[in-house]
Amino acid sequence: MAKPEEMYQCQTVNCGCIYDPDRGDRRGKIKKGTQFCDLGDDWRCPVCGASKKMFKPLAGPGSVKEK
């Protein structure tokens, strides 16, 4: 299971989609094991279409919980 600091959550108003490297992104044809930092800049949230800039890590520096 991926560590929380390796998982990223979409920060758009209604989405909350979590990118888990252990699962990848079937819709975007991203293989399991692909780290968030290795996603292309053109990758979009499979739920709402937001860019990578709208995602924050679940834990650690700059995380969702850090405010």
pTM of the model: 0.88
Structure tokens at 3: 């560590």
As a whole number of angstroms, the distance between CA 1 and CA 34 comes to 13
Q: What is the CATH number of the domain that holds 7?
A: 2.20.28.10
Q: Which residue has the tokens 């920060």?
A: 11
pLDDT per position in the chain (67 positions), as tens? 899 899 999 999 889 999 999 999 999 999 999 999 999 999 999 999 999 999 999 988 888 666 5
Which are the contacts of 27, defined by CB distance < 8 A and separation ≥ 6?
46
For 37, the domain range is 1-67
Quote the number of domains for the chain: 1
